[in-house]
Structure 1
Amino acid sequence: MSATPVFSLIYKSKATQNFSPDQLFELSNKANARNEELMISGFLQFKNGDFLQYLEGEKTAVMSLMNDITQDNRHEVQSIIYLPELTERFFANWHMRYITPNEFNYLSLTDLLHDLLMQIDKIDQSPEEIENRALRLINRVAIHYNDTS
């Protein structure tokens, strides 16, 4: 259990350029190295030009990284959802992982991911409902990867 609360957020962004699978793995590897230095963990997903990234760690570090992410011209951040403080990390065993669309299919999470991506920008969705959808997805990813780590 963490001595200090764990801050977390999830964001959606739209790519401003094309990304090959190799470029996505390279991006993830660089993020993994940086996140290790910052003691941040999370995952990255990319589908049909949309990024969905989950970040968790110390609040100042996560907010600083998020500021840098918003300045990256390879994508445009569309939505940021700040999640409730955690008592422990969902992803303590890695710093950043790119989860491919095929992995989401294998985990039977494609529908949950699609639902979150579709609902995240709807005006009529309450912040609590979007937060609940995001936490459901994060929890399902964590259950699988923590069982196989």
Structure 2
Amino acid sequence: MYAVHNQKEYNDFRNRIIHNNIDQPPYNNNAQVLAALARNGRRFQRLTGKGLMKRNIIREAYRLRIRRQHIINLATNKIWNMVLTTSQRNRFNSLAENANHINRTMNDANNNTLDRITQITMPQETNNLFEDNFFNGTSFTDNKDLNLPAGFASCLFE
């Protein structure tokens, strides 16, 4: 009975969807925009073609006021595997890979920059203590300038 009910809900959803809202890659097929949206600070979400299509299905489900995740997942799998053509799946996959490539390249460049920064071994000459500590780091082994409670510093370096 449960499977029949789910099939009925799925069929109702499939009959009400606007296929152009589902079978077109998002963000006008713009990998730059998609890559920017997939980034979260230094980390990025790895995208898949099927995942991009699922975003379209979720938007369409919300438009139709369908909130059941099981129906959304069922629709995603059936539409991806049985409705979309190979060419349509390839467009989604290509967009996802292009966005992932952009983010990997950006991530590699950021890591390269950080690696080069950590390799700076010459002390940076500055005119004040704040700049000196900022550029050259703070030494916690020389605690003469720290106003710590008695005995506190010794527990840091045991």
TM-score bracket, shorter-length normalisation = under 0.3
Specify which structure has the higher proportion of strand. 1
User: Which protein has greater RCO, CA pairs closer than 8 Å, 6+ apart?
Assistant: 1
- What is the TM-score when the length of structure 2 is the normalising length? 0.19
Q: Which has the higher helix share?
A: 2
- Taking structure 1 as the reference length, the TM-score comes to 0.20
